[in-house]
């Protein structure tokens, strides 16, 4: 494809920033509209990615490769496959919605919108980068606008939350940074060529011990980002303090970077160790699912509740990835999108409540359905999507993940499935306390129902929620080739480990066996 469409998508927001810079900061309405228009244009630019995406091949598509820092073999190398496609679309989809949801921001609108657009660039960049150096640059770049969003436009404890967010995430990613450098030299040692090209790294044959440490470094970075239990404590703080749009993007896209990182980097780069880590990560994921749900249940702050529910949901995603089969991974990718949509929408909804009442305490609400029925419908749909009701998006992802995990480890899947019950418990309880029962606070009697702008933010999301729930194949089919290829790559190596572990012989790691798609043979699933 001759048009560098990925670069357009990535850097158009930056161009938008210059537009906004040229606007007088007092004309805040113009600033908002400009930002919105830019992000919408970006979204429409990203649609061709979907339609022109060739689902038959696992090769990277829309590839662009330019020399950037030749002396280190660093290239501006971008491209997408079935795994990243939807995350990019999710990003470009969520951003205009977030901007639309930020209309009420009156403090330094210009700076706010600039931060949003820069954030979009960084987020898209993370998903398209095929050069590890480039990836890391985007990965870190994304922190700054998010940090500012939380810190400047956030709630009362925003500074604490912003700093915690930034440092926690950085603390994880610096190890990844070192691991990337180490990979670089390992590749050089193996081939004599200096490069940060991810696709080249895929071909590396790294010894188990080295893999172990490198995996650990990547793992910490991604696990914090996901966030996996017990690295999750930055998330509730960040969510609670962030402005609505910040929470939406944080939940919608940023957390996905962690899980995406696992799929894109950890698995194919360190297949043997990834495989050896299945129990560890699975247990962490399960702990996250149950723990997140339990803690979410007793929260009295709506945003915190949703934040902990994220921990729970992301646990599912992690579990699916480490199921190491097609159902698990496709389910995880779907679930990443689902979580982006439904949790994003939940934050929007909480934001709307907050705008109206300036409180997020569950106890301050109750009986709202009577007053704001349209709102209630949307809230209900989103809640149900989050619970994983069949027919809505959440179910597709969760079910595939559980099927995938079930195929490899029945026990893990069974434990994780309790999350389904708990999700219903905390979400419905919350819904009941907010929307049902008598109106206990007089302020709630005068609430206004959703206005057009708010409808415009939620309707697209709800449509997608239904679409994915009813016809997920339009998403799943685009992933097939890439996920299969990933599993073949990973499977070829990990299978050996698996068999070796089975036989208690790790020294046979070098043998070659035929790759299988499902790494754990179905017939040998463990209880």
Partner 1 sequence: MTNVSVMSFNILSILPILTLAGFGIIVLMVDLLSPRRPGDKNFLAYISLIGIVVAAILTKNSTGTALFSFHESFAIDNYSLFFNFIFLLSTGLVILISHNYIKREEINYGEYYALILFSTIGMMLMASGADLLNIYIGLEIMSVSIYILTGFKRSKVTSNEASLKYFLLGAFATGFLLYGISIIYGSTGAINLKEIAGFIAGKGGTVDPLFLMGMGLIIIGLGFKVASVPFHAWVPDVYEGAPTAITAFMSVGPKAAAFAAFFRVFLTAFGSTHYEWQKIIYIIAVLTMTVGNVIALAQTNIKRMLAYSSIAHAGYLLIALVAANNLGVSGVLFYVLAYTFMNIGAFAIVIVLSQKDDTFIQINDYAGLGFKHPFLAIAMTFFLLSMAGVPPMAGFVGKFYIFSAAIKSGYVGLAIIGVINSVISVYYYLRITVIMYMKEPVRDFTSLTLSPLIIAAIVISVIGTLHLGIFPSQVMEIAQQSSLLPR
Partner 2 sequence: MFNLVVLVLLFPLLGAAINGLIGKRLRKETVGYIACGAIGLAFFVSVLVFCKLLSLPPDGRLFEKQLFSWIESGSFQSALGLQIDPLSTLMILVVTGVGLLIHIYSIGYMHEDKGFHRYFCYLNLFTFSMLLLVLGNNFLLMFVGWEAVGLSSYLLIGFWFEKKSASDAAKKAFIVNRVGDFGFALGIMLVFLTFHSIDFTDVFRSASQGNTAIGSFTVTIITLLLFMGATGKSAQIPLYTWLPDAMEGPTPVSALIHAATMVTAGVYMIARCNVLFLLSPFTMTIVASIGAVTALFAASIGLVQNDIKRVLAYSTISQLGYMFLACGVGAFTAGVFHLMTHAFFKALLFLGSGSVIHALSGEMDIRKMGGLRHHIPVTYKTFLIGTVAIAGIPPFAGFFSKDEILLESLTHGNFLYWSIAAVTSLLTAFYMFRLLFLTFYGESRGDHHVMEHIHESPRNMTIPLIILAGLSAVGGFFGIPGANVIHGFLSPIFGTHGNTEILKAGATVHHSEGNPYLMMVISTVIALAGIFMAYQMYIKRPELPKKLAERFHIIYKILLNKYYVDEIYDILFVKLTKKISVLLWKRVDVQIIDGSVNGIARLIGWLGNVLRLTQTGYVRNYAFYIVIGCICIILFAAFGR
Q: Give the count of residues interacting with partner 2 (CB under 8 A).
A: 61
Near partner 2 by CB under 8 A: residue from 33, 190, 428, 509 = 428
Q: Which is nearer to partner 2, 84 or 299 (CB)?
A: 299
For 298, residues 6+ apart whose C-beta sits below 8 A from its C-beta are none
Residue 255: both structure tokens together: 């957390």
Crossing angle of helices 302-321/393-408, nearest 10°?
A: 40
> Taking CB under 8 A as the rule, does residue 143 contact partner 1?
yes
> Taking CB under 8 A as the rule, does residue 177 contact partner 1?
yes
Q: Which is nearer to partner 2, 279 or 390 (CB)?
A: 390
Q: Which entry of partner 1, partner 2, none binds 147, CB below 5 to 8 A by partner kind?
A: partner 1
User: 3-class DSSP state for residue 484?
Assistant: helix
The DSSP call for residue 228 is P
Q: Are 402 and 317 in contact (CB under 8 A)?
A: no
Compute the least distance from the CB of residue 285 to partner 2, in Å.
16
> Taking CB under 8 A as the rule, does residue 402 contact partner 2?
yes
> Taking CB under 8 A as the rule, does residue 472 contact partner 2?
yes
From CA 9, how far away is CA 13, in angstroms rounded?
8
Q: Which is nearer to partner 2, 206 or 376 (CB)?
A: 376
Interstrand relation of 61-69 and 74-80 (parallel, antiparallel or unpaired): antiparallel
> Taking CB under 8 A as the rule, does residue 370 contact partner 2?
yes
> Taking CB under 8 A as the rule, does residue 68 contact partner 1?
yes
Place of tokens 């610096």: 174
> Taking CB under 8 A as the rule, does residue 137 contact partner 1?
yes
Crossing angle of helices 143-153/158-191, nearest 10°?
A: 180
Residue 501: both structure tokens together: 């572990």
Using a 10 angstrom Cβ sphere, with 0-12 exposed, 13-18 middle and 19 or more buried, the burial of residue 292 is buried
Q: How many CB atoms lie within 10 A of CB 268?
A: 20
Near partner 1 by CB under 8 A: residue from 69, 298, 363, 506 = 69
User: 3-class DSSP state for residue 24?
Assistant: coil
Near partner 2 by CB under 8 A: residue from 124, 149, 302, 413 = 413
Q: Which entry of partner 2, partner 1, none binds 108, CB below 5 to 8 A by partner kind?
A: partner 1
Near partner 1 by CB under 8 A: residue from 103, 112, 127, 147 = 147
Residue 352: both structure tokens together: 């709307």
From CA 138, how far away is CA 115, in angstroms rounded?
14
Q: Which is nearer to partner 1, 69 or 459 (CB)?
A: 69
Q: Which entry of partner 1, partner 2, none binds 137, CB below 5 to 8 A by partner kind?
A: partner 1
Q: Backbone phi, then psi, for 391, in 5-degree steps?
A: 95, -20
- Taken in order 514, 59, 402, 504, the sign of the CA dihedral is positive
Q: Which is nearer to partner 1, 67 or 508 (CB)?
A: 67
From CA 365, how far away is CA 155, in angstroms rounded?
19
Near partner 2 by CB under 8 A: residue from 424, 447, 481, 500 = 424
Instruction: Say how many CA atoms lie within 13 Å of 372 toward its Cβ.
Output: 26
Near partner 2 by CB under 8 A: residue from 267, 285, 396, 519 = 396
Q: Which entry of partner 2, partner 1, none binds 175, CB below 5 to 8 A by partner kind?
A: partner 1
> Taking CB under 8 A as the rule, does residue 170 contact partner 1?
yes
Residues that bind partner 2 (CB under 8 A): 164, 167-168, 230, 232-234, 291, 294-295, 297-299, 325-327, 330-331, 367, 369-370, 377, 384, 389-391, 395-396, 399-400, 402-403, 406-407, 410, 413-414, 417-418, 420-421, 424-425, 428-429, 432, 435-439, 470-473, 476-477, 517-518, 522, 525
């Amino acid at each position: 494809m001759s048009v560098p469409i990925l670069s357009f998508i990535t850097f158009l927001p930056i161009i938008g920033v210059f537009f906004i810079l040229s606007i007088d900061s007092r004309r805040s309405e113009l600033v908002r509209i400009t930002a919105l228009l830019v992000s919408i244009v970006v979204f429409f630019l990203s649609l061709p990615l979907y339609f022109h995406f060739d689902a038959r091949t696992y090769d990277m598509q829309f590839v662009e490769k330019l020399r950037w820092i030749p002396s280190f073999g660093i290239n501006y190398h971008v491209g997408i496959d079935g795994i990243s496609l939807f995350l990019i679309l999710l990003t470009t989809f969520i951003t205009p919605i977030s901007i639309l949801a930020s209309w009420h921001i009156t403090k330094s609108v210009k700076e706010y919108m600039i931060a949003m657009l820069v954030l979009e660039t960084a987020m898209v960049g993370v998903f398209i980068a095929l050069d590890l150096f480039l990836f890391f640059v985007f990965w870190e770049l994304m922190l700054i606008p998010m940090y500012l969003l939380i810190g400047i436009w956030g709630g009362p404890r925003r500074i604490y939350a912003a700093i915690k967010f930034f440092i926690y995430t950085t603390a994880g990613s610096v190890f990844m940074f070192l691991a990337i450098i180490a990979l670089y030299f390992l590749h050089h040692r193996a081939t004599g060529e200096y490069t940060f090209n991810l696709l080249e790294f895929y071909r590396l044959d790294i010894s188990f011990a080295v893999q172990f440490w490198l995996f650990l470094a990547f793992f910490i970075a991604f696990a914090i980002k996901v966030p996996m239990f017990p690295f999750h404590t930055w998330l509730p703080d960040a969510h609670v303090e962030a402005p609505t749009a910040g929470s939406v993007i944080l939940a919608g896209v940023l957390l996905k970077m962690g899980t995406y990182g696992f799929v894109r980097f950890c698995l194919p780069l360190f297949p043997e160790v990834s495989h050896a880590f299945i129990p560890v990560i699975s247990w962490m994921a399960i702990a996250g699912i149950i723990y997140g749900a339990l803690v979410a249940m007793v929260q009295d702050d709506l945003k915190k509740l949703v934040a902990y529910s994220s921990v729970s949901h992301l646990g599912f995603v992690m579990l699916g990835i480490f199921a190491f089969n097609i159902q698990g991974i496709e389910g995880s990718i779907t679930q990443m999108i689902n979580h982006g949509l439904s949790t994003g929408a939940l934050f929007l909804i909480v934001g709307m409540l907050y705008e109206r009442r300036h409180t997020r305490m569950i106890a301050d609400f109750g009986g709202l359905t009577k007053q704001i029925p349209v709102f209630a419908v949307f809230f209900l749909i989103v809640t149900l999507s989050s619970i994983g009701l069949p027919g809505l998006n959440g179910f597709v992802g969760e079910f595939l993940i559980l099927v995938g995990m079930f195929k490899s480890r029945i026990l893990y899947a069974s434990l994780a499935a309790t999350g389904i019950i708990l999700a219903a418990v905390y979400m419905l309880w919350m819904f009941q306390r907010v929307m049902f029962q008598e109106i206990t606070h007089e302020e709630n009697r005068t609430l206004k129902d959703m206005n057009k702008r708010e409808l415009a933010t939620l309707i697209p999301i709800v449509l997608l929620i239904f679409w994915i729930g009813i016809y997920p194949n339009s998403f799943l089919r685009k992933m097939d080739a890439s996920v299969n290829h990933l599993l073949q790559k990973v499977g070829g190596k990990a299978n050996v480990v698996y068999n070796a572990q089975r036989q208690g012989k790790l020294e046979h790691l070098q043998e070659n066996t035929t790759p299988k798609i499902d790494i754990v043979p179905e017939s040998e699933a463990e209880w």
